[in-house]
Amino acid sequence: MQSLRFLFLGDVIGKPGRELAQKWIPKLKKEHKIDGVILNGENSSNRGKGITPGIVKAFKECGVNVVTSGNHIFYKKDIYSTLNERDDIIRPANYPSDCPGKGFTIFELNGSKVAIINVQGLIFMQQHLDNPIKTVESLLTFLKSKAKIIFIDFHAEATSEKKLLATFFDGQVSGVFGTHTHVQTADERILPGGTAFISDLGSCGAVNSVIGDKYDIILRQFMTQMPAKFEVETTGPMEIRGVIVEVDTKSGKAIKIERISVTDDEIQYQLQDEGNKK
């Protein structure tokens, strides 16, 4: 049986997240014999909102095959043309078709075609998007004939919605991985039809933070309800969270899913002086 091994990393947050990706992706690739890497880059700019063309390039250089995203993808305008031009960065497919970019991509990996779909949830998020299940259903009508291995990054808030979509597509795709909450869940498993699933991959960023941002600013905003500019936390230990999934290339079914949860106590020292300069 021939198989491919994939590393999926949850939302990469700001400069700490980028440094983590640069340090850990080559390491994890080697250690776990990874063939393909997909990460969610919607928070990877210095402010933690959006992504720039330079960051996409840096991710590619450290071994990333596809960058997925979510509700923060359109924060930085200079990414719009990149979203239109490149096939290795995608945005949720259920946004209006007038938005820049596309919601899926196909790439070749060791002789197999791999499709990645990005879609966003509706519960506790923007309501005026197309139904995510309907969107994936229509994408699958043509993607199924183009790629045996298909993954979905479901960028959503509610675990119930993520479980619902994953169960609906069980057996039709190789994996469904939740992003957006930045908190890794412990429910990774292979569903009865052969689809690997986890409610949320978690994030790559600061451990001592509120989902990647500085605690005191968020607390002040919460207590006063005054507007505040959130800042990425750049000190303290850092975490890198995601899953490794192995897929049978012939059937497209998942064979194995394993959580990756590394805490890095060293990388903070390189970051302390950098802060949120840009």
Helices (H), the chain: 14-31, 53-61, 80-85, 132-143, 159-168, 215-224, 268-271
What three-state secondary structure class fits 15? helix
Distance of closest approach, residue 67 Cβ to Fe ion, in angstroms:
13
Which range in 90-98, 110-118, 141-149, 180-188 contacts Fe ion by CB under 5 A?
180-188
Tokens of 17: 């997240």
Binders of Fe ion: how many residues, by CB under 5 A?
5
**How far, in Å, are 84, 99, 107, 168, 254 from residue 143 at the CA level?**
19, 21, 12, 17, 18
Distance of closest approach, residue 92 Cβ to Fe ion, in angstroms:
10
What three-state secondary structure class fits 55? helix
Distance of closest approach, residue 125 Cβ to Fe ion, in angstroms:
8
- Considering only residues 40 to 59 of the shown chain, the ones binding Fe ion according to CB under 5 A are 43
Tokens of 246: 């192995």
Distance CA(70)–CA(189), nearest Å, equals 23
Which range in 25-33, 35-43, 79-87, 110-118 contacts Fe ion by CB under 5 A?
35-43
Q: Give the nearer residue to Fe ion in terms of CB position, either 92 or 175.
A: 92
Distance of closest approach, residue 77 Cβ to Fe ion, in angstroms:
18
Per CB under 5 A, does 241 bind Fe ion?
A: no
- Considering only residues 91 to 150 of the shown chain, the ones binding Fe ion according to CB under 5 A are none
**Could you list the active site residues?**
72
HSE-CB at 214 with a 13 A cutoff on CA atoms is 16
Per CB under 5 A, does 70 bind Fe ion?
A: yes
Kindly write out the interface string for residues 11-30 of this chain, putting x where it contacts Fe ion by CB under 5 A and - elsewhere.
x-------------------
How many other C-beta atoms are found inside a 10 Å radius of the C-beta of residue 58? Answer: 16
**Scanning the structure block, which residue is given the tokens 């194995």?**
256
Which range in 20-28, 64-72, 91-99, 129-137 contacts Fe ion by CB under 5 A?
64-72
**The one among 47, 180, 214, 241 contacting Fe ion by CB under 5 A:** 180
Q: What residues make contact with Fe ion under the rule CB under 5 A?
A: 11, 43, 70-71, 180
